[in-house]
């Protein structure tokens, strides 16, 4: 029996006993036998109370230790202890030089943490605890050091060799090898270290900061992808400008580099001066990339760039503080994307993700506060909660303080803590100090998990012309937290008169932020002459579930009149949810499904309004996803949800066929593709119309879709047509174009990934057999996380009816894959478990089947910490 992994606790945090002032690394890169020589200038930490002489370094068990010396004295085996997690050296002096030589094998590294090879390119991934797979070190973010890195490798295979900072020397070595030394002047924790070596090509540009620093911008990729880097470059320059204008943050080195690699566990990584990107988040071209892909590139490039301040210059004290950098940086990148495109569309997209995936997480066995109190494996905490809820919490501070005070707060935070490793508490304190606001109660958002629920009721008293809104808050229990203290919640509201005009509120404006502190609170508005319709939680001012007894008429009224664009969309969502839920009940009771015309009529009004942003029209017309309806259900009835949603789509298609045709035709296409907001909006509305038209089952529309597939001059339109045809159950036509699509794009891995995921998410019966066959296709590779996500994760998370097949086949399939991946790539394996962890939300028969598979994973033995944590917590 191997020992069960143990949790570590925030309350046990201690400052490091030793510090590393300088880190000099030398890499001799060689397939399967790479030498890493480290020379660390170390000393006792004067701030530490542990007066210890024992130096404990982290180091993965795969490190082969060749040599260790302290102050040039080679140590014998009795001077140190090598154990599974590291190295213990007894009796070190106050100040010393520690030198180690280790051997590692990048080619055996399938976990993609530490140093590995991605399609012949050496690269590293050190966040969170990957540096210990490269060398023995104090691998914790509060140990910050100045790095100097020398790389030596074969010149032909690895002409480009990169690390953080600036290149300071280079030369030739024996046997056709060459070397280069990079120096990074900014002290940094090991998780921000990076090294890349390979046959890479680059595009170059240049940026002059507001302070006059000339910065060289280099984006590297494989030669064949060189034509797909322009959009990332433009996005980078936009992000650099925006961070100067909005946050007063300038770049701080003479060179900024991005490298694209195909094997990557996450989206991208903010290593100092050398960001490493998943190809899926940096490559973009009209032929191969959808609008969504372009937007992702823009957002992720900005996100990683923004980390240079929110994460690198000011970093995290420990990994419990992860949301300090991630929540803040997601908030920053979403404001950036909102500013450059459409703020309302961006808000709708963010809220949709939050309410679907994060709310589900917050209601499940892995629920945790944005500042967790404990974890077993930190890699499991790169979650929707840390990122997206974390961003919402920062957004609420922004809402409470206002833009100006928030900026003063962020300025104070950056200046007070520049070069430090700090806590979320330091962030909140800076916001308080700069604004004079008291955020004591607000801090509950950091410590409590779960999604708060607001129940709103109102009353109007005509005699005293008084309108009262009563808001009650509660928060469901989450693992380890039965009782929750009341939150401080900003609730932005407006009041509409019967004409649909905004009333002027006590603050003199038409939107006012009510601050909720108590478990129940009443807000009074006087001088009101008729009962208003409240527009609640405008812009989704807090990550909560809000209930108010809106009638369907209220909702259609808000859909056309609310001055808050977000809430117009929200009214449409609420109306659709309301109708879908009622029909789901009908379905469950065997009653005939009948859709009255109210939703269609409301949609008709929206389609006819030429003043509306087409992107918003598309969003309003898109029914809430099956995943969102599931999240709102007490017991998730997969089949009822799917059948009813399809039924409603079909009814709407029949009712609005003429309107959909007209809108489809009105959204004319440009000859030249452009990923600007207006063009994206036209394409999205056009494709929503097409998808409805296909529901009519009419041959004409199949032909229209096929025509679009063949004639499209961009990936968005051709892929949308492919998706629509395949998912509408035209099996023959679907097979033909799937084949054509693959033939055309087999050289473009990112397009092939889309091809895999269109098939894996197909709700038609029998798809699992097809998915299993695709696992043996040349296009699939279990070692490449993008392939695993496109095929396996798409099937398990994007195909509810097939994944939850009542014979348990979907669950069995997933467990089989997790057992394999647990050994190859624990991080990816553990992420894949998610759909099984939600077993409590389903009916008893499915619960039993899902638990059985979780148990089978447990029994398969030798679980990684990653998978162990998720599986054991979800069975607890």
Query: Which chain residues interact with Zn ion by CB under 5 A?
Result: 326, 329
Q: Which position has the token pair 């995921």?
A: 757
- Least distance in angstroms from the C-beta of 329 to Zn ion: 5
Q: Is 119:54 a contact under the CB 8 Å cutoff?
A: no
The verdict on whether 626 is a catalytic residue reads: no
Tokens 């002032």 correspond to: 21
At its nearest, how many Å lie between ligand PHE and the CB of residue 378? 9
Report, in angstroms and rounded to the nearest whole number, the Rg of the chain calculated over CA atoms.
Answer: 28
Judge contact between 53 and 92, C-beta under 8 A. Answer: yes
Q: Closer CB to ligand PHE, residue 304 or residue 458?
A: 304
Helix (H, G, I), strand (E, B) or coil at 408: helix
Nearer to ligand PHE, 114 or 286 (CB): 114
Closest to ligand PHE by CB, 268 vs 629, is 268
Query: Rounded to an integer, what distance in angstroms lies between the CA atom of residue 775 and that of residue 764?
Result: 19
- Least distance to ligand PHE, CB of residue 865, Å: 15
Pick from Zn ion, ligand PHE, none: which does 269 bind, CB < 5 to 8 A by kind?
A: ligand PHE
Q: Are 510 and 503 in contact (CB under 8 A)?
A: yes
Nearest-10 Cα torsion for 539, 542, 547, 552 = 10
CB under 8 Å to 1, separation ≥6 — which residues?
A: none
CB of 357 to ligand PHE, least distance (A): 16
Q: What is the DSSP letter of 792?
A: I
Mind giving me the DSSP string for 194-238? -EEEES-EEEEEEEE-TT--EEEEEEEE-GGGGGG-HHHHHHHHH
Q: Which CB, 268 or 595, lies closer to ligand PHE? A: 268
Residue 220 and residue 223: Cα distance in Å, rounded? Answer: 9
Q: Tell me, what DSSP letter sits at residue 790?
A: I
- Which chain residues interact with ligand PHE by CB under 6 A? 125, 127, 265-266, 268-270, 303-304, 307, 326, 382
**Active-site option among 28, 129, 270, 304:** 304
Query: Is it true that the peptide bond before 128 is cis, omega within 30 degrees of 0?
Result: yes
In angstroms, give the least distance from the CB of 752 to ligand PHE: 23
- β-pairing verdict for 315-316 and 453-461: unpaired
Residue of this chain nearest to ligand PHE (CB atom) = 266
Q: Which residue, 325 or 561, is less far from Zn ion as judged by CB?
A: 325
Structure tokens at 20: 């590393």
What is the four-CA torsion angle of 377, 378, 381, 386, rounded to 10 degrees?
Answer: 160
Q: CA-CA distance, 787 to 794, in Å (whole number)?
A: 10
Q: CB of 300: closest distance to ligand PHE in angstroms?
A: 8
Task: Report the residue number, 326 or 458, with the smaller CB distance to Zn ion.
Answer: 326
Tell me the C-alpha distance between 306 and 96, whole Å.
36
3-state secondary structure of 446: helix
CA distance 726 to 703: 13
Kindly report the backbone phi and psi dihedral angles of residue 104, in degrees, each rounded to the nearest multiple of 5, phi listed first: -135, 165
Query: Which residue lies nearer to ligand PHE by CB, 659 or 866?
Result: 866
Min dist. Cβ of residue 275 to Zn ion (A): 11
Nearer to ligand PHE, 228 or 307 (CB): 307
CA 319 to chain centre: 17
Nearer to Zn ion, 184 or 326 (CB): 326
Partner in contact with 629, chosen from ligand PHE, Zn ion, none, beta carbon below 5 to 8 Å by kind: none
Nearer CB in complex with ligand PHE: 308/541: 308
Smallest gap from residue 478 Cβ to Zn ion (A): 24
**Closer Cβ to ligand PHE, 191 or 673, answer by number:** 191
Q: Which conformational region is residue 236 in: left (phi greater than 0), alpha (psi within -120 to 50 degrees), or beta?
A: alpha
- Which of helix, strand or coil describes residue 123? strand
Alpha carbons 690 and 442: distance in angstroms, whole number: 46
Please state the closest distance from residue 303 (CB atom) to ligand PHE, in A: 6
Q: How far apart are CA 257 and CA 218, in angstroms?
A: 5
Nearest partner of 536 among 557, 561, 511, judged by Cα:
511
State both tokens at 177.
């090898």
Q: Cα–Cα distance between 618 and 606 in angstroms, integer?
A: 10
Minimum CB separation from ligand PHE for residue 57, in Å? Answer: 22
In the numeric block, the tokens 């002290």 are attached to 187
- By the 8 A CB rule, do 180 and 161 touch? yes
Interaction partner, residue 475 (ligand PHE, Zn ion, none; CB < 5-8 Å by kind) = none
For Zn ion, the closer CB: 310 or 817:
310
Q: How many angstroms separate the CA atoms of 317 and 422, rounded?
A: 5
User: Least distance from C-beta 356 to ligand PHE, angstroms?
Assistant: 20
Q: How many of the other CB atoms lie within 10 Å of CB of 418?
A: 10
Both structure tokens of 124: 């590293």
Q: Terminal CA-to-CA distance of the chain, rounded, Å?
A: 20
How many C-beta neighbours within 10 Å does residue 43 have? 14
Smallest distance, ligand PHE to C-beta of residue 297, A: 14
DSSP β-ladder status, 145-154 and 18-28: parallel
CB half-sphere exposure, 340, CA atoms < 13 A: 22
The token pair at 289 is: 């990339």
Residues annotated catalytic, as ranges: 304
């Amino acid at each position: 029996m191997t020992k069960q992994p143990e949790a570590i606790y925030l309350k046990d945090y201690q400052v490091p006993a030793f510090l590393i002032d300088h880190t000099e690394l030398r890499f001799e890169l060689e397939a399967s036998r790479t030498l890493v020589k480290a020379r660390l200038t170390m000393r006792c930490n004067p701030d530490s109370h542990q007066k210890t002489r024992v130096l404990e370094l982290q180091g993965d068990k795969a490190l082969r230790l060749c040599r260790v010396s302290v102050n040039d004295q080679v140590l014998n085996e009795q001077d140190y202890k090598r154990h599974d997690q590291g190295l213990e050296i007894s009796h070190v002096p106050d100040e010393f030089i520690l030198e180690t030589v280790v051997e590692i094998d990048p080619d055996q590294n399938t976990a993609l943490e530490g140093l590995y090879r991605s399609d012949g390119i050496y690269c590293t991934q050190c966040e969170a605890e990957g540096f210990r797979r490269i060398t023995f070190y104090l691998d914790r973010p509060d140990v910050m050091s100045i790095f100097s890195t020398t790389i030596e490798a074969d010149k032909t295979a690895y002409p480009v060799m990169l690390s953080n900072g600036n290149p300071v020397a280079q030369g030739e070595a024996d046997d056709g090898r060459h070397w280069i030394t990079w120096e990074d002047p900014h002290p940094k924790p090991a998780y921000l270290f990076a090294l890349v070596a390979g046959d890479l090509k680059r595009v170059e540009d240049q940026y002059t900061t507001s302070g006059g620093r000339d910065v060289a911008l280099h984006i590297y990729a494989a030669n064949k992808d060189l034509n797909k880097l322009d959009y990332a470059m433009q996005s980078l320059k936009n992000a650099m400008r925006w961070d100067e204008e909005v946050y007063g943050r300038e770049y701080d080195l003479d060179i900024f580099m991005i490298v694209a690699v195909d094997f990557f566990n996450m989206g991208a990584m903010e290593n100092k001066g050398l960001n490493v990107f998943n190809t899926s988040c940096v490559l973009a071209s009209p032929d191969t990339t959808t609008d969504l892909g372009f937007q992702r590139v823009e957002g992720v490039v900005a996100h990683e760039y923004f980390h240079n301040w929110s994460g690198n210059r000011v970093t995290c004290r420990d990994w419990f503080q992860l949301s300090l950098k991630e929540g803040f940086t997601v908030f920053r990148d979403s404001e950036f994307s909102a500013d450059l495109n459409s703020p309302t569309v961006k808000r709708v997209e963010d809220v949709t993700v939050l309410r679907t995936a994060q709310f589900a997480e917050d209601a499940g066995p892995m629920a945790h506060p944005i500042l967790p109190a404990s974890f077993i494996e930190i890699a499991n905490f790169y979650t929707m909660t840390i990122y997206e809820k974390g961003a919402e919490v920062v957004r609420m501070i922004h809402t409470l303080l206002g833009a100006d005070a928030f900026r003063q707060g962020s300025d104070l935070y950056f200046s007070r803590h520049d070069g430090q490793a700090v806590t979320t508490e330091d962030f909140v304190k800076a916001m308080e100090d700069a604004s004079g606001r008291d955020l004591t109660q607000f801090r509950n958002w950091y410590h409590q998990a779960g999604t708060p629920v607001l129940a709103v009721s109102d009353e109007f008293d005509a005699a005293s012309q008084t309108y009262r809104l009563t808001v009650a808050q509660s928060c469901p229990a989450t693992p380890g937290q039965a009782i929750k203290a009341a939150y401080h919640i900003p609730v932005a509201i407006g009041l509409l008169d019967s004409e649909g005009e905004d009333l002027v509120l006590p603050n003199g404006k038409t939107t006012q932020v009510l601050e909720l502190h108590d478990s129940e609170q009443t807000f009074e508005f006087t001088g009101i002459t008729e009962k208003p319709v409240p527009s609640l939680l405008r812009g989704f001012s807090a990550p909560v579930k809000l209930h108010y007894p809106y009638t369907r008429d209220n909702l259609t009224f808000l859909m056309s009149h609310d001055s808050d664009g977000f809430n117009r969309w929200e009214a449409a969502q609420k109306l659709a949810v309301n109708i879908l839920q009622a029909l789901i009940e009908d379905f469950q009771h065997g009653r005939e499904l009948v859709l009255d015309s109210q939703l269609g009529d409301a949609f008709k009004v929206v389609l006819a309004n030429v003043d509306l942003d087409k992107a918003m029209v598309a969003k309003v017309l898109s029914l809430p996803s099956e995943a969102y309806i599931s999240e709102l259900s007490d017991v998730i009835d997969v089949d009822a949800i799917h059948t009813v949603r399809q039924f409603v789509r079909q009814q709407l298609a029949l009712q609005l066929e003429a309107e959909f045709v007209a809108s489809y035709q009105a959204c004319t296409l440009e000859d030249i593709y452009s990923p600007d907001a207006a063009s994206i909006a036209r394409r999205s509305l056009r494709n929503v119309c097409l998808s409805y038209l296909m529901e009519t089952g009419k041959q004409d529309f199949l032909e229209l879709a096929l025509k679009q597939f063949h004639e499209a001059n961009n990936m968005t339109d051709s892929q949308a047509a492919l998706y629509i045809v395949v998912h509408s159950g035209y099996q023959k036509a679907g097979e033909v174009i799937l084949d054509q699509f693959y033939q055309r794009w087999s050289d473009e891995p990112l397009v092939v990934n889309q091809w895999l995921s269109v098939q894996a998410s197909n709700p038609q019966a029998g798809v699992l057999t097809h998915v299993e066959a695709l696992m043996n296709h040349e296009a699939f590779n279990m070692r490449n996380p993008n392939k695993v996500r496109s095929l396996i994760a798409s099937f398990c998370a994007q195909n509810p009816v097939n994944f939850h097949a009542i014979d348990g086949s979907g669950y069995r399939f997933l467990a089989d894959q997790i057992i394999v991946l647990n050994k190859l790539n624990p991080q990816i394996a553990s992420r894949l478990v998610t759909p099984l962890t939600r077993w409590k939300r389903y009916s008893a028969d499915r619960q039993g089947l899902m638990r059985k598979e979780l148990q089978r994973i447990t029994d398969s033995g030798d679980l990684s910490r990653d998978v162990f944590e998720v599986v054991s917590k979800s069975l607890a």
